[in-house]
Amino acid sequence: MSRYIATRAIRGANLITREAEALLNKALQEKGPDTPVAFPNTAYYLPTILGMTGREVSKLGELVPVLEHAKELLHPIPSPQCWTPYLGETLDSGMATLLAAEIIEAVRFIYGEEPGVLPGFHATGGSFTSPEFAAEGGNGTGRLNGPIDDIQLRSWGIQLVDGRMPGFAAIVGCAKSNEVAVKIVRELQKRNILIFLSGNVNGRSVIHQLMEEGVEMGYDTYIVPFGLDTLSAIYAIGFATRSALTFGGLKGGQAKDILLYNRQRVFAFVLALGEVDDLKYAAAAGAINYGFPVIADTRIPQILPTGVTTYEHVISMPFNEIEGKDDLERAEKLVQKCIETRGVKIKLAEVPIPVPYGSAFEGEVVRKKDMRVEFGGKYSRAFEYLRMVDMDQVEDGRIEVFGPDFSQVPVGGAMDLGILVEVAGRKMQRDFEPVLERQIHYFINGASGVQHIGQRDIAWIRISQAAADKGFNLRHFGDILHARFMSDFGAIVDKVQVKIITNPALHAEWLQKARAAYDFRNRRLADMTDESVEEFYTCTLCQSFAPTHLCLVSPQRLGLCGAYNYLDCAASYQINPTGPNQPVRKGMVIDREKGIYTGLNEIAQQKSQGTVQEVAMYSIMTSPMTACGCFECIVMLIPEANGVMVVSREDPSMTPAGMTFSTLAGMAGGGLQTPGVMGVGKYYLTSPKFISADGGFKRVVWMSSILKQTMAAELQAVCEREGDPDLLTKIADETICTDVDGLLAHLEAVGHPALTMDPMF
Amino acid sequence: MAKPKMTPSIDPAACQVLEFAAAVGIATAFSRASDIKPCPIGSGQSGICCKNCYMGPCRLTKDGQVGICGATVDTIAARNFARAVAAGAAAHSDHGRDLAFTLQAAALGEASGYTIRDEAKLLAVAAKHNIPTKGRAIKEIALDVANKAISEFGQQRGELSYIATAPAKRQAIWREQGIVPRGIDREAVEILHRTHMGDDQDPEHILTAALRTALADGWGGSMWATDISDILFGTPSPRVGAVNLGVLRADEVNIIVHGHEPTLSEMIVMAVQDPELIEFARAKGAKGINLAGICCTSNEIMMRQGIPSAGNFLHQELAILTGAVEAMVVDVQCIMQSLTAVASNFHTEIITTSPKVKLTGATHIEFDEHHAVEIAKDIVRRAIENYPNRRETRIPEISERVVPGFSHEYLNYMLGGYYRASFRPLNEAIAAGRIRGVAADVGCNNPSATQDREHMEIISELLKNDVLVVSTGCGAIAAGKYGFLRGEAGLERVGPGLREICETIGIPPVLHMGSCVDNSRILTVLTQMATEGGLGDDLSDIPAVGLAPEWMSEKALAIASYCVASGAYVIMGIRSPVEFSDQVTEIMSKGWESVYGGKLEFVTDAAEVVRRTLEHIDKKRVALKLPPYNPSRFGQSGDTPLRDYFELPVEEQMAELYG
């Protein structure tokens, strides 16, 4: 801190803490100390308060000691002469600011004032966890996002840990112009950096600026508008705190560890746009506690020494002094500086297309009314097929379009499309074809204004009018795929060529060939069993976030995040032989039924730093595999029902265990081995090895309805395999019951097999 | 009486009073220093003197000459040095012992006025010594800590408990060399035995034993003294104080506490705030009671209570010469016998309080921790009663504000706050080169050099070279007199990288870490720096140097020796007490460096001290593979670059917000 910053931050902290006190006292009087307080859809109470103080605040009255602690952290402002040191004091005042801000937001929730309202605001995609707010958004009196829910945090988890999403930018204030605001956001999106928006300068917020420019905001576009005031930036801190709790295996109250976790592992920074007032300085001082540096586009004192943060603490880049031919170039340089300051590692493939490109655009939705053309879906058929061919049959970078372009198709119309990618490489294997082919979805989705859903012959692609206006055409699919395959899979792919097929005869011919290949692969994968291989793969991708968790991936048990199956790991190992996926020999069998092997135990002991001694591949009761925090589902024992329930990450409802997914996740994650609780990938449910030592799929007595619906066909096949074709209908879900009594009644009524199976323990 | 041949002091306040002393013919250490030339043989320059038995004393002045018993120059030099170290270590440690007794009495509820002011520190110290704390009453823990401390003084075998808190590598060196102290008293006694006529006569062997005795001070008696003082009186944190004679008040009763221990002086701090006594002072015509300190007692109460300091060692007589001091209350160490002689010209009453220290002509009011409050009040009352006897006063209107109080606990806090406290930012500042290295400028004043000049020349030059300076004892008070203990000095008088650090944290460029017994704090800081990582894993890896340019006491030699044994390069000024022995000089320099990584050298020229300091720091930086020191890379941050901008009217500032 410089003395100037210290003075302003400490002043801001004192002010906001007093405000929190006044507001809290008012609420205590009006609402009473037993009034519940909570942020929506989180198991982490008020997360910053939980993380820093260990207090599980659920009632208004419980905020009083938190406020007292905040007040203890306050200090007087440094005197103008013969001052005493102020760095530690400013950081403490910053922490007081964060605690006070969370208190204020919690109280505002009680009064229904949070999330803030911005007339006309509409979040993209909405939030499946806060449908009530999304609904309001539809009629033009939209609520801003408010705090991010646990489910969204977890679904971003894998991207945060595998580096696809390098970190987050907390933008506070208002950019010099709308144009600059959009440019900054686009530059961040291009690098897949999550963008959190809050604050204003003289009433105008960057959120207003983006809304005026028609920039889509919401979880899907990685742009999350928290609120129009500085206080709402606390949600970014809450997100950071929960990252440490969710993925780092840390507990509330382990304040220093949580802060250091963020400093070391969460690549985040604060970008202060426009004039920095006392409260912003105070909040920034709080963020610095987390190791997050602050970059301002205005003239403020810089703090360049390092230590509390990894690199510089505070950087000032007065916007007009940034070298650049215009404001857009200056905005670009500003973003570059932010990334440099935080030391964010960014793998950026240059993709030569006329629209912005980056995985931040992956979730972008192209609505029917904004659409130029679509391929697949209801009115046409699209497929994509990647195959390995001999070296001499590929001319690297060759992109050919067979058939007409979409210029003849009326606006909003549809046409057939085939995308054939041919790759060659010395290390390429036939088994990698599906691994690479699944990447097409992510690669194509990265283009702004292009939407990709599905895979294989159920692919469905839309191109927006805006993208088409910028010159996006079919050939650009080839450009994207060539660039990305070469940059991301250069270790196994030496040459790539792409054929885009719209010619009907060719389309039919290649669709036929593609289907034959899909069929072959299905059988090939089905033939692979855990017994047919000697080696499994480790996955330590998440260790950057969950340092003691290790996934063991076998042909019949995919990674709990759902993103890495056995072949993915094999390919990943080829690409990076020293990377997170390493082959591991199973070794001597200790218990075949439970899937306990000496080799697997050894690697688990080693990679978990000794916290896990034994791993059973196929049991939830004996030494279950641990989880980081990115799991798609949680499987949990329901002792009364002699079975297990499966809760989807996307299911916010109550479960018969008396806990929601978010609360359960705290028990399943963080690399902890808890018999009876396990985080898994949802396709593990379909494996014959799904808790086979404990009785297999027949043990499932309750399952989130979203799983039943979205995996209906696959699960039906499992039921038939298990010899009980009606089993799926016997399994309860949240529409049937959310408590044990209701569950037991249902199971009795339908005659669920679990009731008559051997006891689970 | 001869007029001083050299400038006595760079301190204008001192000069002002000395002029008066010369005019009225009152002798001071300054004037006597120009009358008495140090014995060139006794001081080890042109010969060496052994008076350990009464066959002699033997004065050896030629190469190859031996004493009556056959003792060589080298053996005598080593023996004399070892005895000095033992005396210094005994002084520090005995100070620690008395504090342990006070803590014991406080824990037993037998010492009125003493409480456990810093429970957190008590718990931390207990943990260091494996004393259980969970679920136990504070007083119970305190009693265990006190008893543990007391037991270490008389311990005969094994290792002192603090040894295990040093970096592992350092402990291994000590054990390998066999210099882990067994008990605090035992080591000092053994030196006296070994250096008695007809015992240890191998210079290297004697010096190794001297290091063990020194360690019993630094990692024993002194460390206990510091920790127990913090437990009883609070761990220091920065507060605003003032130094120099100008802190005396013309219209108030002035009481000066002088010496080294906080035990009584803390009670006097309480007594001078007693409304009854203040009223009594008013009744005697004074506006109030003003307490000030001298020497390390002053450091102890300045860094804890903000009580001003009237100056360092050589100011003790000068304070009396102002005519404004009603009572000077002294405890132990560095108390000149001349005080009573100087005071006889004024109304000042010299009050001795330690059972160990009496001065002919002084009033003796023996201090007893069991009745501390009453004794303190008695003393204050006496001073007040003396106020009407005051005649003309000559208080120089010279003083400077200071910010002392940098305990290692506060350093840890200031670098990251409550939640992120650590030494990481300091280590990174050194690693990056903003801070080139660290120097500890410590130690006394010595009237054979111009008062404060060496301290100041070295400090100001090091700061310009981005060396962060920590200071204790009389060196720290000196730094305060010239404004180096104010944050402002960190903006104006330092190199660009250090300025950024000073501005970031809000620290002065010279950190006042306490009294001379608190050099143990520096050991703790260096240990924490080594543990934090990035600067090696032993104390000797850190780019740091210890300096005592104006030393005079035997304690200074003990401190220097424990710092060397802990791995530090120590440069002392004035003159070398072992200069006449090439062998001993060689052992202390190259010999010790090869074994301990630290060495002891004596250099009188300030510029040469600075040169060697920087050379050593740069050598350590190279060994750590740190980037070479390059100040041009730094200086862009802080308020300083925006000073002009902040002076603009708000509207203009807003207009230039974006540049």
Q: What is the mean pLDDT of residues B175-182?
A: 97
pLDDT at A487: 84
pLDDT tens for each residue of A245-263: 888 878 899 999 999 999 9
Contact A313 B504 (CB under 8 A): yes
Distance CA A175, CA A180 (A): 6
Range A479-517 burial, b when 16+ CB lie within 10 A, else e: bbbbbbbbebbebbbbbbbbbbbbbeeebeebbeebeeb
What percentage of chain A exceeds 90 in pLDDT? 62
Distance CA A69, CA A57 (A): 14
Pairing mode, if any, of strands A700-703 and B48-50?
unpaired
Contact, A302 vs B636, CB < 8 A? yes
Q: Which of B403, B426, B658 sits opposite A297 (nearest CB)?
A: B658
**pLDDT band per the 50, 70, 90 thresholds, residue A579:** confident
**More reliable by pLDDT, B314 or A434:** B314
Which helix (H) or strand (E) segment holds residue A468: the answer is helix A465-469
First to last CA, chain A: 58
pLDDT tens for each residue of B581-591: 999 999 999 99
Angle between helices A87-110 and A63-72 (to 10 degrees): 160
Contact, A123 vs A117, CB < 8 A? no
Bridge partners (DSSP) listed for residue B256: B292, B328
Contact B417 A87 (CB under 8 A): yes
Please determine, for residue B4, whether its predicted confidence score (pLDDT) is greater than 60: no
Pairing mode, if any, of strands B569-572 and B467-471?
unpaired
pLDDT at A580: 82
Chain A residues within an 8 Å CB radius of B421 = 88
**More reliable by pLDDT, A490 or B80:** B80
pLDDT at A163: 67
The C-alpha R_g of chain A, in whole angstroms, comes to 27
Contact, B122 vs B142, CB < 8 A? yes
Contact, A270 vs A342, CB < 8 A? no
Distance CA A175, CA A327 (A): 11
Provide the residue type at A310 as one letter. T
Tell me the shortest Cα–Cα distance from B547 to chain A, in angstroms.
25
Alpha helices (runs of H) in A472-561, residue ranges in sequence order? 475-488, 504-527
Distance CA B564, CA A384 (A): 74
What percentage of chain A exceeds 70 in pLDDT? 96
Chain A residues within an 8 Å CB radius of B416 = 87-88, 91, 307-308
| Domain finish residue from B203, B233, B263 | B233
Give me the domain span that covers residue B537.
Answer: 412-633
Please determine, for residue A130, whether its predicted confidence score (pLDDT) is greater than 50: no
User: CATH number for the domain including B118?
Assistant: 1.20.1270.30
pLDDT at A165: 78
Angle at B462 between CA B513 and CA B85, to 5 degrees: 50
- Tell me, yes or no, whether B276 and B382 share the same domain: yes
Pull the structure tokens for residue B382.
């006496």
Residue A92 at interface with chain B, using a CB cutoff of 8 Å: yes
Chain A residues within an 8 Å CB radius of B642 = 4, 299-301
Contact, B555 vs B333, CB < 8 A? yes
Distance CA B299, CA B312 (A): 9
pLDDT at A157: 73
Of B447, B316, B338, the residue nearest B6 (C-alpha)? B447
Residue B153 lies in a domain: yes
| Among the four given CATH numbers 3.40.50.720, 3.30.1650.10, 3.30.870.10, 3.30.750.24, the one describing domain A359-509 | 3.30.1650.10
Kindly report the average pLDDT of chain A as a whole number.
89
Q: How many domains are contained in chain B?
A: 4
pLDDT tens for each residue of B298-350: 999 999 999 999 999 999 999 999 999 999 999 999 999 999 999 999 999 99
Pairing mode, if any, of strands B58-60 and B48-50?
antiparallel
pLDDT at A140: 46
DSSP code for A732:
B
**pLDDT band per the 50, 70, 90 thresholds, residue A135:** very low
CA distance readout (Å), A585 to A574, A589, A600: 17, 11, 7
Using CB atoms within 10 Å of the CB of residue B3, give its burial: 0 to 12 exposed, 13 to 18 middle, 19+ buried: exposed
The C-alpha R_g of chain B, in whole angstroms, comes to 25
Contact B636 A304 (CB under 8 A): yes
Please determine, for residue A76, whether its predicted confidence score (pLDDT) is greater than 90: yes
pLDDT tens for each residue of A630-673: 788 999 999 999 999 999 988 888 999 999 888 888 788 888 89
- Tell me, yes or no, whether B152 and B249 share the same domain: no
pLDDT tens for each residue of A326-339: 999 999 999 988 88
Distance CA A744, CA A732 (A): 10
Of B291, B495, B499, B311, the residue nearest B400 (C-alpha)? B311
- Tell me, yes or no, whether B482 and B568 share the same domain: yes
- Tell me, yes or no, whether B259 and B200 share the same domain: no
**pLDDT band per the 50, 70, 90 thresholds, residue B182:** very high
Contact A86 B415 (CB under 8 A): no
Of B470, B642, B502, the residue nearest A86 (C-alpha)? B502
Distance CA A420, CA A386 (A): 6
Range A4-31 burial, b when 16+ CB lie within 10 A, else e: bbbbbbbbbbbebbebbbebbeebbeee
Of B86, B83, B58, the residue nearest B72 (C-alpha)? B58
Residue B65 lies in a domain: no
Residue-wise DSSP of B396-433? -S--EEE-----HHHHHHHTTHHHH--SHHHHHHHHHT
Helix, strand, coil distribution of chain A in percent, nearest 5: 45, 15, 40
- Tell me, yes or no, whether B148 and B261 share the same domain: no
pLDDT at A420: 96
**pLDDT band per the 50, 70, 90 thresholds, residue A732:** very high
pLDDT at A38: 93
- Tell me, yes or no, whether B142 and B250 share the same domain: no
Please determine, for residue A59, whether its predicted confidence score (pLDDT) is greater than 60: yes
Q: Which residue of B has its CA nearest to A276?
A: B657
Residue B648 lies in a domain: no
pLDDT at A571: 83
The CATH architecture that domain A530-756 belongs to is: 3-Layer(aba) Sandwich (3.40)
Q: Which residue of A has its CA nearest to B488?
A: A82
- Tell me, yes or no, whether B424 and B376 share the same domain: no
Residue B411 at interface with chain A, using a CB cutoff of 8 Å: no
- Tell me, yes or no, whether B466 and B592 share the same domain: yes
pLDDT at A136: 41
Q: Which residue has the tokens 């001082």?
A: A285
First to last CA, chain B: 68
- Tell me, yes or no, whether B184 and B282 share the same domain: no
Q: Is the peptide bond before B641 cis (omega within 30 degrees of 0)?
A: no
pLDDT at A131: 42
Q: How many cross-chain Cβ pairs, A to B, lie less than 8 Å apart?
A: 156
Residue A76 at interface with chain B, using a CB cutoff of 8 Å: no
CATH assignment, A131-342: 3.40.50.2030
Residue A6 at interface with chain B, using a CB cutoff of 8 Å: yes
Mark residue A751 as left, alpha or beta (left: phi above 0; alpha: psi -120 to 50; beta: remaining). left
- Tell me, yes or no, whether B46 and B88 share the same domain: no
pLDDT at B1: 43
pLDDT at A129: 38
pLDDT tens for each residue of B345-378: 999 999 999 999 999 999 999 999 889 999 999 9
**More reliable by pLDDT, B181 or A344:** B181
Q: What is the mean pLDDT of residues B141-158?
A: 97
Residue B655 lies in a domain: no
Q: What is the mean pLDDT of residues B234-253?
A: 97
Q: What is the mean pLDDT of residues B484-507?
A: 95
Chain B residues within an 8 Å CB radius of A289 = 417, 419-420
Tell me the shortest Cα–Cα distance from B112 to chain A, in angstroms.
31
**More reliable by pLDDT, A358 or B185:** B185
Residue B645 lies in a domain: no
Distance CA B626, CA B611 (A): 20
The CATH architecture that domain A3-110 belongs to is: Orthogonal Bundle (1.10)
- Tell me, yes or no, whether B574 and B466 share the same domain: yes
Contact A308 B416 (CB under 8 A): yes
pLDDT at A161: 67
Q: What is the mean pLDDT of residues B221-238?
A: 96
Q: Which of B239, B427, B659 sits opposite A84 (nearest CB)?
A: B239
Task: Kindly report the pTM of this predicted structure.
Answer: 0.83
C-alpha dihedral over A380, A386, A387, A392, to 10 degrees? 110
DSSP code for A116:
P
Range B115-148 burial, b when 16+ CB lie within 10 A, else e: bbbbeebbbbbbebbebebeeeeeeebbbbbbeb
Residue B653 lies in a domain: no
Q: Is the peptide bond before A115 cis (omega within 30 degrees of 0)?
A: yes
Please determine, for residue A132, whether its predicted confidence score (pLDDT) is greater than 70: no
Q: What is the mean pLDDT of residues A443-460?
A: 86
Bridge partners (DSSP) listed for residue A315: A295
Please determine, for residue A110, whether its predicted confidence score (pLDDT) is greater than 60: yes
Distance CA B444, CA B451 (A): 10
Contact B417 A255 (CB under 8 A): no
**pLDDT band per the 50, 70, 90 thresholds, residue A461:** very high
Angle between helices B222-233 and B73-107 (to 10 degrees): 20
Bridge partners (DSSP) listed for residue B136: none
Helix, strand, coil distribution of chain B in percent, nearest 5: 50, 10, 35
Residue B644 at interface with chain A, using a CB cutoff of 8 Å: no
For chain A, the domains span 3-110, 131-342, 359-509, 530-756
C-alpha dihedral over B515, B520, B524, B525, to 10 degrees? 40
Please determine, for residue A164, whether its predicted confidence score (pLDDT) is greater than 80: no
CA distance readout (Å), A482 to A351, A401, A420, A474, B410: 9, 14, 12, 13, 58
Provide the residue type at B42 as one letter. G
Contact, A191 vs A358, CB < 8 A? yes
Please determine, for residue B648, whether its predicted confidence score (pLDDT) is greater than 50: yes
Tell me the shortest Cα–Cα distance from B426 to chain A, in angstroms.
7
User: CATH number for the domain including B385?
Assistant: 3.40.50.2030
pLDDT at A347: 60
- Tell me, yes or no, whether B135 and B192 share the same domain: yes
Close Cβ partners of A336 (under 8 Å, ≥ 6 residues apart): A187
Q: Which of B403, B637, B653 sits opposite A303 (nearest CB)?
A: B637
**pLDDT band per the 50, 70, 90 thresholds, residue B186:** very high
Distance CA A121, CA A126 (A): 11
Distance CA B2, CA B7 (A): 13
**More reliable by pLDDT, A559 or A166:** A559
Residue B461 at interface with chain A, using a CB cutoff of 8 Å: no
**pLDDT band per the 50, 70, 90 thresholds, residue A348:** low
Tell me which of B237, B303, B418 to substitute to probe the interface with A (most A C-beta atoms closer than 10 Å): B418
Q: Which residue of B has its CA nearest to A296?
A: B658
Pull the structure tokens for residue B181.
């102290």
pLDDT at A138: 40
Close Cβ partners of B586 (under 8 Å, ≥ 6 residues apart): none
Chain B residues within an 8 Å CB radius of A312 = 637
pLDDT at A442: 84
Q: Which residue of B has its CA nearest to A275?
A: B657
C-alpha dihedral over B204, B210, B211, B213, to 10 degrees? 150
Residue B646 at interface with chain A, using a CB cutoff of 8 Å: yes
Residue B67 lies in a domain: no
Please determine, for residue A158, whether its predicted confidence score (pLDDT) is greater than 80: no
Pull the structure tokens for residue A236.
């970014």
pLDDT tens for each residue of A517-545: 988 877 777 788 999 899 999 988 777 66
Residue B6 lies in a domain: no
